[in-house]
Amino acid sequence: MSDFPKFVEFHEEGVREGFQMEPVTYPRAQRAALIDALSETGLRQIQVGSLVNPAKVPQMADTLELFADIKKNPDVRYTLLWLNESGYRRASTVQGAFNHAPLMYYLTDAFAMRNNNRTAMEMRAEQEAWLDRYRADGAFPQKVYAMTAWGCNLGGPVSQETVVDAFRHAIGMFRDRKLPLPPLYLADTMGWASPEEVKRRIGAVRELAPEAKIGLHLHDTRGLGGANVYAALSMGVSLLDGSIAGLGGCPFAGHKARQTSGNVCTEDMVFMCHEMGIDTGIDLEKMIEASRMAEEIIGRPLMGRVMHSGSLKAFREGRQADSACVSVP
């Protein structure tokens, strides 16, 4: 039985996850202008960048400076990503970003070693220390991620029980401390998910913790991103990560084609929600403008569809399209 939500909240990750995949570092002023444009679209959360090893991800080396450059909209949460103690210490110096602390579960050793130089179980054990550290420092985790929740290019298929077991550990940590559960996010980090499997794994997590909100971080690597979002919506999911213009991807995920590894395209998924009568609080026309700005900065055609075709607004208002359609008999 379908249970579509009335409102979906999108968290924008393109400026971090998209620009980290590019072979060059784009001017900070251009990236700040893009974030400022996104801040005026109605998005509630924008991830600005990541505090990781600049030798491995040089595109994110100026993240703190970028965070200082942007014009803060009081209606938007601006977040940073960190993966270790060094990144956390740097994030703690940034007013406004510190309170959005993540907990992260790896489900394969291969990806955990490549991304964090730890096994999956070592990373799991560290999450309890992170939770206590966050609480002591006045931060509360906003999300619990299970990465590669359907499969891993480096470690192979990931079973549903592996996903459930990771979340069972996380849920136990919060219940033992009598803390409310933050949203539990299934992350299709490398584009292995398919619609029915999306439904099954959402259902399994919901059985484990009926009180928890469930979110998804989906990629469109193999063309199923939109179908997977629809499947998630049909299960009542109302929290989604997305990336402007379909940018994104993890540089350590072993993708064959980096430019097709992106997240689901935010404005395309916003368009789908609006066509289904689901509110997002987002101005689609402003999102399209921001997507075109991203494409101009990157300097090549990007993967988004609505940014190129436009929305249906002009057609519904009876205005002519920019170019006429010619019928071929």
Q: How confident is the model at residue 327 (pLDDT cuts 50, 70, 90)?
A: very low
Which residue type does 275 have? E
Output the pLDDT for position 213: 97
> Tokens 């298929």 appear where?
157
CA–CA separation, 171 vs 206, rounded Å?
Answer: 12
Tokens of 214: 């469930």
Crossing angle for the helix pair 225-234 and 266-275, to the nearest 10 degrees: 40
β 214-217/239-242 pair status: parallel
Q: How confident is the model at residue 139 (pLDDT cuts 50, 70, 90)?
A: confident
91-110: burial string, b at 16+ Cβ within 10 Å, e else = beebeebbbbbbbbbbbbbb
Q: What does the mean pLDDT of the chain come to? A: 91
- Contact yes or no for 77/43 (Cβ under 8 A): no
Q: From CA 81, how far away is CA 175, in angstroms rounded?
A: 25
Rounded to an integer, the average pLDDT of 230-249 is: 94
pLDDT of 326 reads 44
The topology (CATH level 3) of 9-316 is: TIM Barrel (3.20.20)
**How big is the CA angle at 168 (ends 97 and 158), to the nearest 5 degrees?**
90
Structure tokens at 300: 């090549």
In what helix (H) or strand (E) does residue 275 lie, and over which residues does it extend? Answer: helix 266-275
Q: Which two tokens stand for residue 315?
A: 């057609």
Tell me the sheet residues that pair with 203.
none
| d(C-alpha 83, C-alpha 115), whole Å | 9
Q: Alpha-carbon dihedral of residues 250, 188, 30, 272, nearest 10 degrees?
A: 160
Cβ neighbours of residue 156 under 8 Å, at least 6 residues apart?
Answer: 108
Residue 187 burial class via C-beta count within 10 angstroms: exposed 0-12, middle 13-18, buried 19 and up:
buried
For CA atoms 101, 107, 113, 119, the dihedral sign is positive
Q: Rounded distance, CA 131 to CA 119, Å?
A: 19
Which amino acid does the sequence have at 54?
P
**Which of residues 134 and 325 earns the better pLDDT score?**
134
Lowest mean pLDDT among 83-97, 168-182, 255-269: 255-269
Least confident of 77-91, 132-146, 246-260: 246-260
Q: Is residue 325's pLDDT more than 50? A: no
Return the pLDDT at 328.
Answer: 47
CB 42 within 8 A of CB 10: no
Region 68-81 average pLDDT: 95
Q: CB–CB of 248/13 below 8 Å? A: yes
CB crowding 47-86: b at 16 or more within 10 Å, else e: bbbbbbeeeebebbbbbbebbebbeebeebbbbbbbbeee
Task: Confirm if 237 and 202 have CB atoms less than 8 A apart.
Answer: yes
What pLDDT is recorded for position 191? Answer: 93
Is it the case that residue 1 has pLDDT exceeding 50? Answer: no
Summarize pLDDT for 163-190 with one digit per residue, the tens.
999 999 999 999 999 999 999 999 999 9
pLDDT in tens, 51-71: 999 998 999 999 999 999 999
Cα 290 to Cα 281: distance, rounded to the nearest angstrom: 16
**% of the chain at pLDDT higher than 90:** 78
Half-sphere exposure (Cβ direction) of 123: Cα atoms closer than 13 Å: 25
Residue 261 has pLDDT above 90, yes or no: no
pLDDT tens digits, 11-38: 999 999 889 888 899 999 999 999 999 9
Q: Is the pLDDT of residue 5 over 60?
A: yes
- Amino acid letter, 29: A
Residue from 318, 238, 316, 315 nearest 273 by CA: 238
What pLDDT shows up at residue 246?
92
Give residue limits of the domains in the chain.
Answer: 9-316
Mean pLDDT across 278-305: 96
pLDDT at 260: 52
The pLDDT of residue 324 is above 90? no
CB proximity list for 125: less than 8 A, separation 6 or greater: none
